[in-house]
Amino acid sequence: GENVEQHPSTLSVQEGDSAVIKCTYSDSASNYFPWYKQELGKRPQLIIDIRSNVGEKKDQRIAVTLNKTAKHFSLHITETQPEDSAVYFCAASPPWGNTPLVFGKGTRLSVIA
């Protein structure tokens, strides 16, 4: 089955700097890669996702890149703000509809003002 590795487990950046979180996956058939943000005491919420037919997707200060050959994808947050502080989870899912999302172990991002 699919296995997702996520690095780093913790990340501290100064406000205004960029943050990058990387994930690798094992199943070359996976074609859906969402990222979730979980603020303290709250539920995980989708912030951006990408499918394998594109290499990059942007939404304001957030972008995700996908390298299918190397089987890794990354989350990029530019101009970080204190409200970006949270735990971020990557996930991967194969195309057939009967398998669940497999999540990485999460990255705790701290943005220092």
Contacts with another protein by CB under 8 A lie at 6, 9, 31-32, 34, 36, 42-46, 49, 89, 93-106
Which is closer to another protein, CB of 14 or CB of 98?
Answer: 98
Q: Is 22 exposed, middle or buried (0-12, 13-18, 19+ CB in 10 A)?
A: middle
Provide, rounded to whole angstroms, the least separation between the CB of residue 36 and another protein: 8
User: What's the CA gap between 22 and 90, in Å, rounded?
Assistant: 8
- For residue 70, give both structure tokens: 């190397």
* Nearest to another protein of 84, 94 (CB atom): 94
- Shortest distance, position 43 Cβ to another protein, whole Å: 4
Shortest distance in whole angstroms from residue 14 CB to another protein: 25
Whose Cβ is closer to another protein: residue 55's or residue 95's? 95
Yes or no: say if 3 and 25 are a contact pair by the CB < 8 Å rule.
Answer: yes
> How far is C-alpha 100 from the geometric centre of its chain's CA atoms?
17
Q: How far is the CB of 16 from another protein (least distance, A)?
A: 28
CA 72/CA 87 separation, integer angstroms: 19
Choose between 69 and 98: whose C-beta lies nearer to another protein.
98
